[in-house]
């Protein structure tokens, strides 16, 4: 109650002067309260549904609900009423949703079925480690209202304290549902014919990938390639990311409906930046694999500057498998649906000896895309800045073969010592040319380099919009092409 009153008191002020100014323009944020992982993302009858980890009563993580939003294009979202509330089995942790086209569950043809983790804070206190179980709920009105299954949980806890985040897919060849579940330090696979009774099929990953932290939020994706079907297992890990804190790794391999195998050596990362975590893909989207992540990091998520709402999602990203020097790599690019919100803007360019200036970008109001291309692979720094000295640098260091985003002078960076200042990412492409797309929104920078082969996502908190861009480059003989697009 107290928190509601506080909300009501600070709301008008924050709208006028505060955080509303920095609310992202084309990234999803909750109207109020706390948000973390995207959940149950699904496409049905022309609409995209996003559910999300939500504490509606506070701006820090707390009793988890599933919030809900709907979009026609994955860019503009309309928040709906809360979908799932905590119950006697616990709060509602991350999970997924499916369309039950053949009524395998008996809940109804084309019903939406949500599969999620119940986390019991009471049982957790006992120290038994049995506090996480898997449950289901169904909706017969496209997600407006939900009925929890009377026989929950559908998977009880076998004695694993981190036992959560079920992602369910339909596997046509075996006519079965497959669940991938994060189970402490590996992914456990389950099969079911009806979404209610589940059999354990196997495990993956105890000796593969990054194990610095706990494994969370898995997803299993199928890709068609010219070498046949390939499968990708996505696994978030916290901590253990390349730039510290939370990050998402992936494994490329084969899946037979029961077991996943991968010969991959080393760890591959979906995004090297500090702020793309717990990403999973939309269900029921035909052959498209589209992922959205939570744009934050558990190392500082609860302390980022906020008044009435906290955290946003990444842009929806189309994932593709690309072969580079005999190795498959996962690339991510903003979905094509973003294009209809983009408008090319001409910004005056002044070439100097070893830098280029673009002034008067204030009209872009920190809601734009900058595309950059050079004919040779050489060092550069793209500096987004404003008159009060706030800046963000996106660059490339050819000696180290690394991209980077430096947010050390981006505004408020002092709220938590773990808010890392510069994030680095290896260049994966071997192309002789270099091109990148940078999406800027009110408090995020997303870099997609070399057609999305290297991605870096970083959030920032500044007072004023950037009003100019300077590109530092030693060799302006190198043909440098820069374009600006206003978004929205
Ligand atoms: C990942 C995560 C999940 C869990 C949820 C709780 O960010 O820790 O493993 O289900 O957040 O909010």
Q: Is the CB of 302 under 6 A from ligand 1?
A: no
* DSSP code of residue 87: B
**48 to 164, 193, 486: CA distances (angstroms):** 24, 26, 24
Ligand 1 geometric centre to CA of 143 (Å)? 21
Q: What is the per-residue pLDDT across 447-483, written as a single tens digit (0 to 9) for each?
A: 999 999 999 999 999 989 999 999 999 998 889 999 9
* Predicted pLDDT of residue 18: 64
**394 to 103, 296, 437: CA distances (angstroms):** 50, 19, 11
Q: Are 398 and 377 in contact (CB under 8 A)?
A: yes
Alpha-carbon span 216 to 167, nearest angstrom: 11
* Entry pTM: 0.95
Tell me the sheet residues that pair with 44: 47
Q: How far apart are the first and last CA of the chain?
A: 37
Q: What is the per-residue pLDDT across 335-352, written as a single tens digit (0 to 9) for each?
A: 999 999 999 999 999 999
Ligand 1 atom showing the smallest separation from residue 64 Cα: 12
Cis peptide bond upstream of 239, omega within 30: yes
Q: What is the per-residue pLDDT across 73-126, written as a single tens digit (0 to 9) for each?
A: 999 999 999 999 999 999 999 999 999 999 999 999 999 999 999 999 999 999
How many H-runs (helices) and E-runs (strands) does the chain carry?
2, 35
Ligand 1 geometric centre to CA of 222 (Å)? 24
Average pLDDT of the chain is: 95
Ligand 1 geometric centre to CA of 37 (Å)? 7
* DSSP code of residue 316: P
Q: Is the CB of 37 under 6 A from ligand 1?
A: yes
Q: What is the per-residue pLDDT across 280-320, written as a single tens digit (0 to 9) for each?
A: 999 999 899 999 999 999 999 999 999 999 999 999 999 99
Q: What is the per-residue pLDDT across 124-182, written as a single tens digit (0 to 9) for each?
A: 999 999 999 999 999 999 999 999 999 999 999 999 999 999 999 999 999 999 999 99
Alpha-carbon span 158 to 274, nearest angstrom: 33
Ligand 1 atom showing the smallest separation from residue 93 Cα: 10
Average pLDDT over residues 322-331: 95
Q: Are 181 and 134 in contact (CB under 8 A)?
A: yes
Cβ burial, residue 89 (10 Å; 0-12/13-18/19+)? middle
Q: Are 460 and 409 in contact (CB under 8 A)?
A: no
**267 to 24, 203, 396: CA distances (angstroms):** 32, 18, 22
Task: Spell out a b/e string for 433-457, using b for 16 or more CB atoms within 10 Å of the CB, else e.
Answer: ebebbbbbbbbbbbbbbbbbbbbbb
* Predicted pLDDT of residue 7: 53
Q: What is the per-residue pLDDT across 425-446, written as a single tens digit (0 to 9) for each?
A: 999 999 999 999 999 999 999 9
Question: Which of 340, 341, 337, 357 lies closest to 349, judged by CA?
Answer: 357
Sign of CA dihedral 335, 30, 39, 312: positive
CB count in 10 Å sphere of residue 17: 10
List the residue whose alpha carbon is closest to atom 6 of ligand 1. Answer: 93
Identify the H or E element spanning 342.
strand 342-345
Name residue, tokens 């199928």: 222
* pLDDT of 16 over the 50 cut: no
Q: Which two tokens stand for residue 481?
A: 């092409």
User: Is 37 part of the annotated catalytic residue set?
Assistant: yes
């Amino acid at each position: 109650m107290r928190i509601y009153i506080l909300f009501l008191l600070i709301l008008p002020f924050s709208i006028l002067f505060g955080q509303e100014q920095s609310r992202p323009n084309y990234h999803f944020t909750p109207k109020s309260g706390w948000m973390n992982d995207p959940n149950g993302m699904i496409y049905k009858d022309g609409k995209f549904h996003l559910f999300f980890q939500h504490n509606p009563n506070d701006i820090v993580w707390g009793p988890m609900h599933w919030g809900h939003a709907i979009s026609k294009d994955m860019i503009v979202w309309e928040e709906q009423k809360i979908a799932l509330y905590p119950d006697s089995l616990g709060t509602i942790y991350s999970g997924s949703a499916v369309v039950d086209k053949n009524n395998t569950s008996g809940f109804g043809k084309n019903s939406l079925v949500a599969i999620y983790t119940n986390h019991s804070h009471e049982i957790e206190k006992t120290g038994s480690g049995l506090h996480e179980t898997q449950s289901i709920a169904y909706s017969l009105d496209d997600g407006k209202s939900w009925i929890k299954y009377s026989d929950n949980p559908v998977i009880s806890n076998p004695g694993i304290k981190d036992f959560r985040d079920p992602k369910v897919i339909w596997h046509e060849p075996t006519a079965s549902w497959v669940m991938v579940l994060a189970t402490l330090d590996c992914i456990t696979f389950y099969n079911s014919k009806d979404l209610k009774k589940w059999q354990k099929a196997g495990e993956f990953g105890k000796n593969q990938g990054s194990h610095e932290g706990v494994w969370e939020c898995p997803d299993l994706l199928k890709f068609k390639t010219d070498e046949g079907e390939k499968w990708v297992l996505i696994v978030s890990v916290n901590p253990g990311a390349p730039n510290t804190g939370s990050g998402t790794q992936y494994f490329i391999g084969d899946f037979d409906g029961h077991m996943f195998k991968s010969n991959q050596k080393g760890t591959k990362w979906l995004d090297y930046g500090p702020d793309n975590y717990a990403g999973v893909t939309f269900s029921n989207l035909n052959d498209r694999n589209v992922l959205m992540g939570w744009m934050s990091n558990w190392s500082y998520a609860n302390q980022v500057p906020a008044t009435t709402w906290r955290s946003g999602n990444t842009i929806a990203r189309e994932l593709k498998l690309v072969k580079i020097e005999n190795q498959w790599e996962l690339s991510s690019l903003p979905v094509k649906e973003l294009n209809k919100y983009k408008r090319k803007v001409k910004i005056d360019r002044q070439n100097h000896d070893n830098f280029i200036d673009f002034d008067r970008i204030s009209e872009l109001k920190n809601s734009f895309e900058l595309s950059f291309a050079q004919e040779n692979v050489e060092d550069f720094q793209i500096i987004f800045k404003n008159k009060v000295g706030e800046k963000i640098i996106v660059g490339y260091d050819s000696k180290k073969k690394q991209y980077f985003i430096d947010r050390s002078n981006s505004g408020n960076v002092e709220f938590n010592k773990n808010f890392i200042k510069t994030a680095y990412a290896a260049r994966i492409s071997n192309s002789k040319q270099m091109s990148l797309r940078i999406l800027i929104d009110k408090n995020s920078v997303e870099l997609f380099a070399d057609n999305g082969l290297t991605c870096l996502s970083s959030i920032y908190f500044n007072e004023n919009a950037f009003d100019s861009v300077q590109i530092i480059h030693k060799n302006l003989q190198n043909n440098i092409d820069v374009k600006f697009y206003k978004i929205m």
